[in-house]
Copies of this chain bind each other. A is one copy, B any other.
Amino acid sequence: MKSYREELWFETKTRRAYLNITAQVDAAVQKSGVREGMVLVNAMHITASVYINDDEAGLLHDYETVLERLAPQDATYRHNDTGEDNGDAHIKRQLMGREVVVAITDGKLDFGPWEQIFYGEFDGRRRKRVLVKVIGE
């Protein structure tokens, strides 16, 4: 069994951002040399997500609208009594998910026609990481 590990670092200029990281994950899979296996891609921070969906600007705007409706930034969060102001970001991350697992087949990400891997940032403007872990043969 082969394994490979890589960290991707991000620092978004805005509090929230949605970054297509498919090319970086694909490059890590190539470096791993794994032809058949799985790759785990997860946020290493608890106010960010890794998820798979369409790379379409309107949709990213819709996520923003829905997440603000379900967990508004300016609502009251007990978590913010600690001095933090990111209670909403913890909730948004939970709704969007922490991680994806993608099959590797013939050395490639085994994707449907529109699948793209995104880093969803909900409390940005500082350096944060994503873990890419590949296992297989």
Residues of chain A at the chain B interface (Cβ within 8 Å)? 1, 3, 5, 36-38, 40, 42-46, 51-54, 56-59, 61-63, 65-66, 70-71, 77-82, 87, 90-91, 93-103, 105, 110-115, 129, 131, 133, 135-137
Contacts and interface: CB of A to CB of B under 8 A. Distances in A.
A7 B71 CA distance: 34
A51 B98 contact: yes
A114 B46 contact: yes
Shortest 4 CB-CB contacts between residues of A and residues of B: A44-B112, A58-B78, A103-B133, A3-B36
Given A94-B53, A137-B1, A78 B61 contact: yes
Nearest to A134: B103
Contacts of A114: 45-46
24 contacts: A1-B36, A1-B37, A1-B137, A3-B37, A3-B137, A5-B110, A37-B135, A40-B103, A42-B102, A44-B113, A44-B115, A45-B112, A46-B53, A46-B115, A54-B90, A56-B79, A58-B79, A59-B77, A61-B78, A63-B91, A70-B70, A103-B133, A135-B135, A135-B136
B105 A129 contact: no
A68 to B, nearest CB: 13
